[in-house]
Structure 1
Amino acid sequence: MSLLADNMRFLRGRRGLSQQRVADDLIITRSRYAKYEEGASEPPIELLQRISRYFHVSIDLLVGIDLQRSRIEELLKLPDYRMVLPVK
Structure 2
Amino acid sequence: MTVIGERLKKLREEKGLTTDELAEELDFAKSLIWSYELGKKEPSITHLRRIARFFDVPTEYFTAGEGEPYERIRLDSKTDMEDYKLYIDHEELTAEEIEEVIAYIRVKRLMQKKVS
TM over 0.5: yes
Structure with higher Rg: it is 2
Verify the 8 A CA contact 1:3 1:65 in the aligned structure 2: no
How big is each residue's C-alpha offset from its partner over 1:53-83, in whole Å with a ceiling of 9 and x where there is no partner? 01111011122244xxx354xx32467xxxx
**8 Å contact kept, 2:61–2:68:** no
Deviation for aligned residue 1:38 = 0.5
Select the structure that is richer in helix: 1
- Aligned residues: CA RMSD: 1.6
8 Å contact from structure 2 (residues 35, 41) kept in 1 = yes
How many equivalent pairs are there?
Answer: 74
TM-score between both structures, scaled by the size of structure 1: 0.74
- The answer to whether residue 42 in structure 2 is matched with residue 46 in structure 1 is no
Runs of 4+ in 1 over 2 A off after TM superposition: none
Q: Are 2:46 and 1:31 equivalent residues in the alignment?
A: no
- Using the size of structure 2 for normalisation, the TM-score is 0.58
Identity %: 27
Query: Mind listing any 5+ residue stretches in structure 2 that lack a counterpart?
Result: 75-116
Q: Residues 14 and 46 from structure 1, CA distance in 2 versus in 1: closer, same or farther, beyond 3 angstroms? A: same
Structure 1 unaligned spans of 5+? 80-88
